[in-house]
A and B are shown apart, each in its own frame.
Chain A
Amino acid sequence: MSNLVLVEHEGGEIKAATLNTVAAAKAAGGDITLLVAGSGCGGVAEAAAKIEGVAKVICADAPELESQLAENYAPLIVKLASDFSHVWAPADTFGKNIIPRAAAMMDMQQISDITAVVDADTFERPIYAGNAIATVKSGDAVKFVTVRGTAFEAVAEEGGSAAVETIGGEGDSGLSSFLGAEITVSERPELTSARIVISGGRGMQSGENFPMLEKVADKLGAAVGASRAAVDAGFVPNDYQVGQTGKVVAPDLYIAVGISGAIQHLAGMKDSKVIVAINKDEEAPIFQVADYGLVADLFQAVPELEAELDKVL
């Protein structure tokens, strides 16, 4: 068994999801090689070489890999993949974009968004918004797997001392080009790896009310999330969305404020350790999954929560 894990990085930093993905690869067994692709990504490769349990780092450094376009990235994976039994990536927008393209180029059926490694060929994955868990076994020569980060405990960022091999890219496909990005900047922790998340829904009524949640978040060191309804209504940007088709989170504490608890929202947060719901409708389905439900008007309860936290923190 031998594993190739795609390293997700941005602005010279390795994204946390990479460490969860390495953990999944480790569970399958065998050597672990990391692939860092980018332009001027030597520093990232050096950092990747320190990750616990890594045998080798391949650093593909080429100008056309700068913006991680799938058309330039996938051929690189295809060139390397036949030396491996498994290719792994996080099941986020980075992995979901690139991995299926590489898998299809090699005539392999990808396994998406796994939550457990049963053995090297067999994986568990949620289907139907997490309302069923399928155990699937792959007979493919190279298994392309994307990993749900929240289901695997991250490996340590330090402790390894892998060798770094630098290679080039496969050239620019000429099919696509990067024009620009509007990345949400925040001082708060990343939604998918935060220990505490507080999310607002349609009940928040407008984006102007979100600072109410942000104040609580800053007291708790929490990330701020949202339901689809809150994103669709323009209260907050798209990258706040938690759910079946947004981000999956599983923090120690999830606080849902003015969120009804639709199946699609629950799919993204019901594996949180402790769930709090604040909703004025005592029939709201969110209460069925909440460990602590508070039936209250959020416009009273949230400021009160902020004040109460001041007393105990």
Chain B
Amino acid sequence: MKVLVPVKRVVDYNVKIRVKPDQTGVETANVKMSMNPFDEIAVEQAVRLKEAGTATEIVAVSIGPTQSQETIRTALAMGADRGILVEADADVEPLAIAKMLKAIVEKEGPELVLLGKQAIDDDSNQTGQMLAALMGWPQATFASKVEMKDGSMDVTREVDGGLETINVKLPAALTVDLRLNEPRYASLPNIMKAKKKPIDTMSPADLGVEPAKRLEVLKVVEPEKRQGGAKVESVAELVDKLKNEAKVI
């Protein structure tokens, strides 16, 4: 079974982002970029499926600027077999991403697409569900456990009330949550090997998708700052202030 893993290049989760003074977006020049943390979990899951003999080939796909190659290389170093880079702007919307992924799915014929549940830059949480919709496939979102069956899989999902288990037929799109696995670090020999693995480069037009914007970003601003930082000396003072100053208890 072939597995496709879409991986997004995002501002590293440790970076404290800065909003551009002209309010057009967030500063990404000279900022540390990494693979979206959820996508690392998706790659890890794919590699485990390959190690278990279930997956035969893992294709990592990234849509974004040329540097997204580095994100693909990270996936290759973790154990993906080859990469596809679709060169596009960094801020293509989820629906257009899903359309490009659909075109790639139709060409590659994977039985499983493993995505992150959300990209930590746009915080959209849409792409996997949209790809499933466009393909007419089932979807299993927020997965924290996956058990492969013959022609289907049982997926445990992290929902607001606790956990839920569903069975979805293959082919399917699955979006991973934090507790599915702990992604491995690529070893130095694997990083070296990854340099020789092939990456195909293409454009949205090659996939027949026009990544036109549906949402116009009017402005991006910083949120209101909290005035925090005050300390209390004792539990008694804390309780007194909560009762008599803040009046919340």
Interface residues of A (CB under 8 A from B): 10, 67, 69-71, 74, 92-94, 96-105, 107-113, 122, 126-140, 173-184, 192, 196, 220, 228, 231-232, 237-239, 244-245, 247, 252-253, 263-264, 270, 273-276, 287-296, 301, 304-305, 308-309, 311-313
Contact of B150 with A by CB under 8 A: no
Q: Which residues of B contact A182 (CB under 8 A)?
A: 162-164
In chain B, residues 211-236, which have Cβ atoms closer than 8 Å to a Cβ of chain A?
214-223, 226-232, 234-236
For B138, B160, B178, the residue with the greatest tally of chain A CB atoms inside 10 Å of its CB is: B160
Do B215 and A136 have beta carbons less than 8 Å apart? Answer: yes
Known: A128-B123, A312-B240. 16 other contacts (CB 8 A): A70-B129, A93-B142, A100-B94, A104-B130, A105-B133, A105-B134, A127-B121, A132-B26, A138-B215, A140-B214, A176-B140, A176-B168, A184-B161, A274-B248, A308-B235, A312-B249
Interface residues of B (CB under 8 A from A): 11, 13, 16-17, 19, 26, 38, 93-95, 98, 117-118, 120-127, 129-134, 137-142, 144, 154, 157-169, 172, 177-179, 214-223, 226-232, 234-236, 238-243, 246, 248-249
Distance in angstroms between the alpha carbons of A140 and B223 in the assembled complex: 27
Contact of B162 among A102, A238, A295 (CB under 8 A): A238
Q: Which residues of A contact B240 (CB under 8 A)?
A: 312
For A176, A196, A247, A274, the residue with the greatest tally of chain B CB atoms inside 10 Å of its CB is: A176
Distance in angstroms between the alpha carbons of A289 and B137 in the assembled complex: 44
Distance in angstroms between the alpha carbons of A67 and B166 in the assembled complex: 10
Do A313 and B126 have beta carbons less than 8 Å apart? Answer: no
Do B235 and A176 have beta carbons less than 8 Å apart? Answer: no
Q: Which residues of A contact B144 (CB under 8 A)?
A: 238
Do A179 and B167 have beta carbons less than 8 Å apart? Answer: yes
* Count: A-B pairs, CB below 8 Å: 265
Q: Which residue of B lies closest to A190 (CB)?
A: B160
Q: Which residues of A contact B120 (CB under 8 A)?
A: 128-129, 244-245
A126-B123, A292-B242 known; A109-B95 Cβ under 8 A: yes
Q: Which residue of A lies closest to B164 (CB)?
A: A181
Supply 26 A–B pairs (Cβ within 8 Å), ascending by A: A93-B160, A96-B125, A97-B129, A98-B129, A102-B133, A104-B95, A104-B126, A104-B133, A110-B124, A112-B125, A127-B26, A128-B120, A130-B223, A132-B221, A136-B215, A137-B215, A137-B216, A175-B138, A196-B248, A237-B163, A239-B162, A274-B242, A291-B230, A294-B232, A304-B235, A305-B235
Q: Which residues of A contact B168 (CB under 8 A)?
A: 175-176
7 cross-chain pairs, A with B, having the tightest CB-CB distances, nearest first: A109-B214, A104-B130, A175-B138, A100-B129, A104-B133, A100-B126, A289-B228
Do A301 and B235 have beta carbons less than 8 Å apart? Answer: yes
Q: Which residues of B contact A276 (CB under 8 A)?
A: 238, 242
Do B249 and A196 have beta carbons less than 8 Å apart? Answer: yes
Tell me the smallest distance from the CB of A69 to a CB of chain B, in Å.
7
Distance in angstroms between the alpha carbons of A109 and B216 in the assembled complex: 11
Q: Which residues of A contact B117 (CB under 8 A)?
A: 245
Tell me the smallest distance from the CB of B214 to a CB of chain A, in Å.
4
Do B220 and A127 have beta carbons less than 8 Å apart? Answer: yes
Do B163 and A181 have beta carbons less than 8 Å apart? Answer: yes
Do A228 and B178 have beta carbons less than 8 Å apart? Answer: yes
Distance in angstroms between the alpha carbons of A139 and B137 in the assembled complex: 27
Do A252 and B248 have beta carbons less than 8 Å apart? Answer: yes
Distance in angstroms between the alpha carbons of A207 and B169 in the assembled complex: 36
Do A237 and B228 have beta carbons less than 8 Å apart? Answer: no
Q: Which residue of A lies closest to B214 (CB)?
A: A109
Distance in angstroms between the alpha carbons of A261 and B218 in the assembled complex: 31
Q: Which residues of A contact B93 (CB under 8 A)?
A: 109
Q: Which residues of B contact A295 (CB under 8 A)?
A: 231
Q: Which residues of A contact B217 (CB under 8 A)?
A: 134-136
Tell me the smallest distance from the CB of A134 to a CB of chain B, in Å.
5
A104-B129, A131-B223, A304-B235 known; A291-B246 Cβ under 8 A: yes
Do A232 and B178 have beta carbons less than 8 Å apart? Answer: yes
For A105, A132, A305, the residue with the greatest tally of chain B CB atoms inside 10 Å of its CB is: A132
Q: Which residues of B contact A247 (CB under 8 A)?
A: 160
Q: Which residue of A lies closest to B241 (CB)?
A: A292
Q: Which residue of B lies closest to A195 (CB)?
A: B248
A128-B123, A245-B118 known; A308-B95 Cβ under 8 A: no
A184-B161, A305-B239 known; A107-B216 Cβ under 8 A: no
A103-B95, A138-B215, A313-B249 known; A238-B179 Cβ under 8 A: yes
Q: Which residue of A lies closest to B14 (CB)?
A: A263
Distance in angstroms between the alpha carbons of A134 and B120 in the assembled complex: 14
Tell me the smallest distance from the CB of A216 to a CB of chain B, in Å.
11
Distance in angstroms between the alpha carbons of A69 and B94 in the assembled complex: 21
